[in-house]
Structure 1
Amino acid sequence: MTNEQPTLKKALRPIHLWAIGVGLVISGEYFGWNYGWGVAGTVGLLVATLLITLLYFTFIFSFTELTTSIPNAGGPFAYALKAFGPMGALVAGYATLIEFLFATPAIALALGSYVHFLYPSVPVIATSVSSYILFTLINLLGIKEAAWFSLIMTLLAIAELLLFIGVVAPDFKLDNFLHNPMPFGWSGVFAALPFAIWLYVCLEGVAMVAEEVKNEKNAIAKGYISALLTLTILALAVMICVGGIAEWEKLASLDYPLPESIGIVLGRDNPLTKLFASVGLFGLIASFHGIIISYSRQIFALARSGYLPTVLATVSARQQVPYWALLLGAFFGIAALCVLDTSKLVILSTIGAVVVYIVSMLALFKLRRSDPTLNRPFKAPFYPVFPAVALLLAGIALAAMIYFYSWLSLLFFVGLVVIAGLFYASGRYEKSKQEWRVDVP
């Protein structure tokens, strides 16, 4: 990167990274995962979640090596570029954009559903679109302001989930949780993998703000690992508690399973039920806001490297935020939520995620061999076992999604082929390849 290229402001500390990491993902505890009950039952989804939890533990501990070694707003795009060159970078960048750009409208729809639960006269779409407008404007204020907002929303969301667990746990009944536990057998476990991934998806988005982290030893590692531990505890506690409240068929297709659960325990008109649905918006807001930060930085990085129009890498003079990237992401998200339902958005997002994980782990192995002298402030523990386990589980998850959700998978890969074709036909591939050969002998 030359001095003339646009740069981002360094303002983040480990506490901000923890908040962004948890905030990116915490909406997954509020909705989305329960669709997995519809294809696997309670125990089937729990087994899928335990497998995916193992995937994320091995992946994040390995991925942190890449993030700390190559602190670039492009995240997986930058790692793949260094390891595999322009075409590998294109695959990683495309998959990351799909992951984040489709996760955001899913959360927007959940925001609309929560508000509709409270005020039935308010249309879901109206709230969803308004959310995009409001939180894009907040992100235009600057990264430090956006990170502090994320911290506050994340703390409120965690407090709210702890309150939820405290309210419903006494009414947990094992008979409810074990009702029709695996209606589709082991095939249901594999069909449920994208909904289990939803509990953690976008956590690697912390990498997109790596350029904006103040120089502090192991700051990124501290933020990542503390966020993962927090999310694991909350995810398992919420899933088990909700599964014991009522038969899962009553909750498997809702965008608001948590307030509905409290409604079953206390009554839908109970003031605490209404209060929970109101403060439940904090978790959705935290993720919605955090993912907007991440996808805007990914668009910025791709544009800065010439993979997207360079105007998208323009940053504001005062706040130093990529404002065109923010606006484009909002436009795309509003269009997506108008044509796809929540479950399809979740599946598309998680397909993008597992492709990112596969490319990232391959990049880690490649760079360990091709660039052994690369400065690595944090090294993946138990190498090569951890990245190998993450790579294997991500490959299994991708194969399962291709099998069970073939049309959505086809849509993802057709889009990749089209983008790659345009990249090659435009001549940008050859130019990028020459630049890469100069930068990476």
Structure 2
Amino acid sequence: MDHAEQATLPRTLGGLQLWGIAVGLVISGEYFGWSYGWAAAGTLGFLVTAAGVAALYVAFIFSFTELTTAIPHAGGPFAYSLRAFGPLGGAIAGYATLIEFLFAPPAIALAIGAYLAVQFPGTDEKLVASGAYALFVTLNIAGVAIAASFELAITLLAVAELLVFMGVVAPAFEWQAFAAGGWAGAEQLSPAALPGMLAAIPFAIWFFLAIEGVAMAAEEARDPRRTIPRAYVSGMLTLVVLAFGVMVFAGGSGDWRALANVNDPLPRAMQAVVGGASGWLHMLVWLGLFGLVASFHGIIMACARQIYALARAGFLPGPLARLHPRLSTPHLATLAAGGVGIAAIWSDRLVNIGGQPLTAAIVTLSVFGALVMYVMSMAALFRLRQTAPGLERPWTAPLYPWLPGLALGLALAALAAMIWFNPWLFALFAGVMGLAVLMAWRRGPRVVVPA
């Protein structure tokens, strides 16, 4: 009996928990990472870029939900591409998703360290980040019901904190402050502003990156064909409102240039408004950690499921598909995800690639993985409409084929722009992807095409 047949993931997750996972996976993107987009495009240029990326995600999620409900599989995009294109397509989508979910958590862990350094100057951010991995890898191994309930609780606190942030800084908001120097490299919207806007794409994507990770919880959801669409749609609407609210209020409450290259833009924006001794600031620092923790914890959960699904299908070593005999969690896959993340935190090799800071470089690598996965997923949707017309689809993409086509076109355009502006990082991404696909192909994956 192989590892995949020894045990199955238990179905314990309800609709509210899935919403918590959907929002929690992403909500750290509202706390940090996006402000690097201001450095590239200015506030107004980045606002336009973020609007385009939001359109991409709305189109993508409304289309992606068709795949998630038709094929509720822990592999998510890997399973869809495997069904549509066979082993090669599955390998491309699976490893791209894995890169996305492997490299997002180290960036978030470093931001957790940066937030604590505001409260405790001199704190070693890398030690804090490594400690966060140890804690939340352990929690994820303890059980999916415990992990999901914790995720919901901290996600609710993180959403509340972002609303508090907007309320506190709103009285200081001035449109003139937000718009000052708002078009990087240009006085107004013109062709001269376009390069900065395109270069800012990965940081706009960071606002919404990883919401698709709910698909990795499909095998653990109760009635996934009903609860997952609700989680996706409500989660996406929640995140759009929070992303634009945080960005606009933070940028208009002071000098946005001071926030453009930092890992903790919200505490700094609030400090400029209420002062360093304010209780509001201390509350934001402490409660703001919940947003980072929610995404960190949720992405580790999704990453472990992706490793588990790839191993179960033979695309990664078989022992990674083992479930804990008592807890029924993919414990070895979770430990593997933690080990890679800690290695990324302590590695200096990514720091100077493309001239980007470590966090920005990790964000960019993660976004490359996401965009390749988005392209493969939308291509799989079109392919399965042709090859599997009888597949039960509890949710169908609205405005087909136009909405999925919009998502596919915008994802391809964003990928092309990122390659143009980040050639060295793309070379690293492509090299890792090519090596992974080649190794899997040589091992001869035990292909399990989901029904």
TM-score, reference length from structure 2? 0.94
Task: List gaps (5 residues or longer) in structure 2.
Answer: 186-192, 351-357
Q: String of CA shifts for 1:120-166, please: whole Å, max 9, x gaps.
A: 13211111000000001111110011000000000000010000000
Q: String of CA shifts for 1:185-222, please: whole Å, max 9, x gaps.
A: 01111111100000000000000000001126511100
Identity of aligned residues (%): 49
Q: Distance in 2 between matches of 1:126 and 1:64?
A: 38
Report the equivalent of 2:355: none
Q: State the shift of 1:5 in Å.
A: 4.8
Q: 1:398 aligns with which of 415, 433, 437?
A: 415
Q: 2:299 aligns with which of 291, 304, 315?
A: 291
Aligned residue identity for 2:314: G
Q: 1:422 aligns with which of 420, 439, 442?
A: 439
Aligned residue identity for 2:54: T
> Are the aligned partners of 2:23 and 2:155 in contact in 1 as well (CA < 8 Å)?
yes
Report the equivalent of 2:86: 85
Report the equivalent of 1:276: 284
Report the equivalent of 1:250: 258
Q: Distance in 1 between matches of 2:54 and 2:327?
A: 37
Pairing 1:422-441 to 2, within 5 Å after superposition: 422-426=439-443, 428=444, 432=447
Pairing 1:2-41 to 2, within 5 Å after superposition: 4-41=5-42
What is the SS of the residue equivalent to 2:263? coil
Q: Distance in 2 between matches of 1:275 and 1:126?
A: 23
Report the equivalent of 2:310: 302
Q: Distance in 2 between matches of 1:369 and 1:195?
A: 35
> Are the aligned partners of 1:5 and 1:304 in contact in 2 as well (CA < 8 Å)?
no
Q: String of CA shifts for 1:209-243, please: whole Å, max 9, x gaps.
A: 00001126511100111100000000000000011
Task: List gaps (5 residues or longer) in structure 1.
Answer: none
> Are the aligned partners of 2:70 and 2:225 in contact in 1 as well (CA < 8 Å)?
no
> Are the aligned partners of 1:157 and 1:280 in contact in 2 as well (CA < 8 Å)?
yes
Pairing 1:258-273 to 2, within 5 Å after superposition: 258-273=266-281
Q: String of CA shifts for 1:30-57, please: whole Å, max 9, x gaps.
A: 0000000111000111101000000000
Q: String of CA shifts for 1:5-32, please: whole Å, max 9, x gaps.
A: 5310100111011000000000000000
Q: Distance in 1 between matches of 2:225 and 2:139?
A: 29
Task: Report whether the alignment pairs 1:314 with 2:322.
Answer: yes
Report the equivalent of 1:412: 429
Aligned residue identity for 1:317: P
Q: Distance in 1 between matches of 2:304 and 2:293?
A: 17
Aligned residue identity for 2:374: Y
Report the equivalent of 1:241: 249
Report the equivalent of 2:74: 73
Task: Report whether the alignment pairs 1:209 with 2:217.
Answer: yes
Q: String of CA shifts for 1:296-336, please: whole Å, max 9, x gaps.
A: 00000000000001100110122210000000000000111
Q: Distance in 2 between matches of 1:425 and 1:364?
A: 28
Report the equivalent of 1:146: 147
> Are the aligned partners of 2:79 and 2:90 in contact in 1 as well (CA < 8 Å)?
yes
Aligned residue identity for 2:437: A
Q: 1:361 aligns with which of 370, 373, 378?
A: 378
Aligned residue identity for 2:407: A
Aligned residue identity for 2:136: F
Matched residue pairs, number?
434
Aligned residue identity for 1:389: L
Q: Distance in 2 between matches of 1:31 and 1:420?
A: 32
Q: String of CA shifts for 1:259-288, please: whole Å, max 9, x gaps.
A: 001100011222221121111101001000
> Are the aligned partners of 1:402 and 1:409 in contact in 2 as well (CA < 8 Å)?
yes
Report the equivalent of 1:332: 340
> Are the aligned partners of 1:6 and 1:313 in contact in 2 as well (CA < 8 Å)?
no
Task: Report whether the alignment pairs 1:386 with 2:430.
Answer: no
Q: Distance in 2 between matches of 1:402 and 1:4?
A: 41
What is the SS of the residue equivalent to 2:75? coil
> Are the aligned partners of 2:34 and 2:203 in contact in 1 as well (CA < 8 Å)?
yes
What is the SS of the residue equivalent to 1:383? coil
Higher mean C-alpha deviation, range 270-279 or range 393-402: 270-279
Pairing 1:101-250 to 2, within 5 Å after superposition: 101-184=102-185, 185-215=193-223, 218-250=226-258
> Are the aligned partners of 2:225 and 2:395 in contact in 1 as well (CA < 8 Å)?
no
> Are the aligned partners of 2:178 and 2:252 in contact in 1 as well (CA < 8 Å)?
yes
4+ residue runs over 6 A deviation? none
